[in-house]
Structure 1
Amino acid sequence: MNEFKQLSQEMRQAITAEMKAVLNVIEAQPDLFFGMMHYHMGWRDEQLQPANVNAGKQIRPVLCLLACQAAGGSWQQAVPAAAAIELLHNFSLIHDDIEDASPTRRGRKTLWTIWGQEQAINAGDAMFALAHLALHRLVDRGVAAETAVHALRRFDETGVRLTQGQHADMDFETRDNVSVDDYLAMITGKTAVLLSLCAELGALIAGQDAETVQNYAKFGLNLGLAFQVIDDILGIWGDESVIGKSASTDILTKKKTLPVLYGLSQNSNLQQLYQQETTDDAFVQQAIQILNHTGARDDATERATYYSETALGHLEAAQPSGPASIALQQLSAMLLQRNF
């Protein structure tokens, strides 16, 4: 039986219902203020009429609820925290789309391309504030006020780390001297800390001791690091028919991923190649050849394996139990056991 599939389906429904309550979703057509947020979430179209755009597996909030249940709590109590995490994530996406000048997301126009940058920035700001209000609803689910305040503090600390990661990511676009350590610090903030928060808050709301909560947090952190490093590997050497995108895009755009930064630190020929203004298929093939020669793929694979094993080690140390424990193992396998 696939416990993850079974549990996550019910959990996603509860998370969506909670987010809709926080974002004031009613049957009548919303005003533009809430309507823009509803559009971004996939609940409305450009005319603010009802829509149902696939929001994906909602891995982050589901991880929070699975951790709560596996740590001995009731996942229903943690639903406000899961909703808050998903809203925080989506606030960052609204702003990321503006910062990256991205015209589409999930196959639709991005918020800013329809209503302008100013309104989109404001919509993101509103979603950030509403994410906090979502977290306050923990008390309504019977969570102790002291626990809710602790959760809010960790939520805000993670928000700072998340935006620091985005700052570094944008800064790297114009920097030539980005090191592997710089990159690992960036993905820790941009990707891993939010997954860490998901698992941490789940265990916290379940009433676990500090050591167990930290094991769940470290499980999520290393899970996020492993996931990103695997993505970096697939972005260069992945099977296009499996990953669903061109495996040469990261090279063509000179994206500073882990294998590229490792290669640049090891090989002057790659440094000279990356100084070229234009890129083409020949550029891609030459770059990959040099990366193979430097051992960049092996280095990234070793790091991915280390983060994966560390994540699973902390999960084991947390001693999860019940069907949610099996679901966490299945989720980890889904994220980590990709062909790289």
Structure 2
Amino acid sequence: MMPEIWKELAAEYLPALEAAMKETVAEGEGKLQRHYGMMRYHLGWADEQLRPAKAPAGKRLRPLLCLLSCEACGGDWRNALPVGVALELIHNFSLVHDDIQDRSPTRRHRPTVWKLWGEALAINVGDGLLILAHLALRELTKSGIPPERVTEVYRILDEACLALIEGQFLDISFEREERVSLGEYLRMVRGKTAALMAASTRLGAFIATEDAEIVEHFRAFGENLGFAFQVQDDILGLWGDEAVTGKPVADDLRQRKKTLPIIYAMEREPELARLMSKPRWGEREFRSALELVNRSGAREFAQAEARRFYEQALRELEAVGRRNRASQALAELASFIVEREV
């Protein structure tokens, strides 16, 4: 379960965040209502007929990290709302495109955008969310933030977005490569997962303070949190409880994904590398591969890596030396990430 302090602050922040997001993602006019309706469907505000509805919409983790970081640095979290909106829209742009690339039929227990309306329109929906993210940042000037600092926010967010896209390219490329090193894998994670989390905490701090050292600590906190999040995801992809995760046991191995524990096991078990190169698997090959992964010590290695990133994230947060409800929530969230079961 999420930490209580996190849930308390999320309950305070989320209504304002949702309102700002809905203001950014307009309903559209005429035939464009359908285009914007698809965006609102993906964001959890509409049903399959594009009528207003409340549906599963994710935890809004990245914008909440941003708002918490702003408050943790002594700022007014409301000033960071435009950045929070932009972060969530960028995250969802990537999910819409990711669903197409992975051929995922469902997300959050509902059909994906491409599955309902086709790839062409889904690509357009993702593109639209990305542009709306940039437009949302115009609201920063209303908080009295100097134009040169607003320009810096654009730069930081664009660099994070590019890193995310580069990470996705590497992840897709790995599917066709027989061997991937741990170093290559971590480079991919730095882009695909950690970059946007690092931007979330960095920008929250940036809105609150001009102290570059504090901002850097928050950037590093978010980056390490992103690494810990992904490694824990990899652990759950192999050893998660199906009743909790909703996915079959060792689903990542069945799909022959090159996640951190699988890469580690391949480096230590040559037979696993041979099995992974086979074009097709039956149940026998899958069972053999799972036994080799378990024998390799991959689970213990991955758990140690998640713990290492978590501890480094905490060190970055503690180095700032600020103690308040927001910094407490960030610390408890970091602990939750390496202990979560879903």
Please report the TM-score for the alignment, with normalisation by the length of structure 2: 0.94
Q: How many percent identity over aligned positions?
A: 44
Select which of 178, 188, 192 maps to 1:190: 192
Select which of 9, 22, 25 maps to 2:24: 22
Question: 2 CA distance for matches of 1:9 and 1:27?
Answer: 32
Q: CA deviation at 1:177?
A: 2.5
Q: CA deviation at 1:261?
A: 0.8
1:63 is matched with 65
| Greater mean alpha carbon deviation, residues 239-248 or residues 148-157 | 239-248
Kindly provide the CA deviation profile for residues 189-210 of structure 1, in whole angstroms up to 9, marking residues without a partner as x.
Answer: 1101111110000000001411
Select which of 263, 285, 288 maps to 1:286: 288
1:138 is paired with a residue whose SS is: helix
2:253 is paired with a residue whose SS is: helix
Cα distance 1:26–1:339, how it changes in 2: closer, same or farther (>3 A)?
closer
**Aligned-partner residue type, residue 207 of structure 1:** T
CA RMSD of aligned residues (A): 2.0
1:12 is matched with 14
Gapped runs of 5+ residues in structure 2?
A: none
Work out whether residues 192 and 225 of structure 1, in 8 Å CA contact, stay in contact via their aligned partners in 2.
yes
Matched residues, number: 340
Work out whether residues 71 and 321 of structure 1, in 8 Å CA contact, stay in contact via their aligned partners in 2.
no
1:164 is matched with 166
Work out whether residues 20 and 82 of structure 2, in 8 Å CA contact, stay in contact via their aligned partners in 1.
yes
**Aligned-partner residue type, residue 241 of structure 1:** A
Stretches (4+) displaced over 6 A:
26-30
| Greater mean alpha carbon deviation, residues 177-186 or residues 239-248 | 239-248
| Greater mean alpha carbon deviation, residues 52-61 or residues 83-92 | 52-61
**Aligned-partner residue type, residue 339 of structure 2:** Q
Select which of 78, 83, 90 maps to 1:88: 90
The correspondence of residues 173-252 of structure 1 with structure 2, limited to 5 A, is 173-252=175-254
**Aligned-partner residue type, residue 219 of structure 1:** F
Work out whether residues 252 and 280 of structure 1, in 8 Å CA contact, stay in contact via their aligned partners in 2.
no
Question: 2 CA distance for matches of 1:235 and 1:258?
Answer: 11
Select which of 307, 316, 319 maps to 2:318: 316
Kindly provide the CA deviation profile for residues 106-152 of structure 1, in whole angstroms up to 9, marking residues without a partner as x.
Answer: 11111122222112111211111110011121111222222211111
Gapped runs of 5+ residues in structure 1?
A: none
Work out whether residues 43 and 53 of structure 1, in 8 Å CA contact, stay in contact via their aligned partners in 2.
yes
2:305 is matched with 303
Kindly provide the CA deviation profile for residues 267-290 of structure 1, in whole angstroms up to 9, marking residues without a partner as x.
Answer: 211112223333344333322321
2:145 is matched with 143
Work out whether residues 232 and 259 of structure 1, in 8 Å CA contact, stay in contact via their aligned partners in 2.
yes
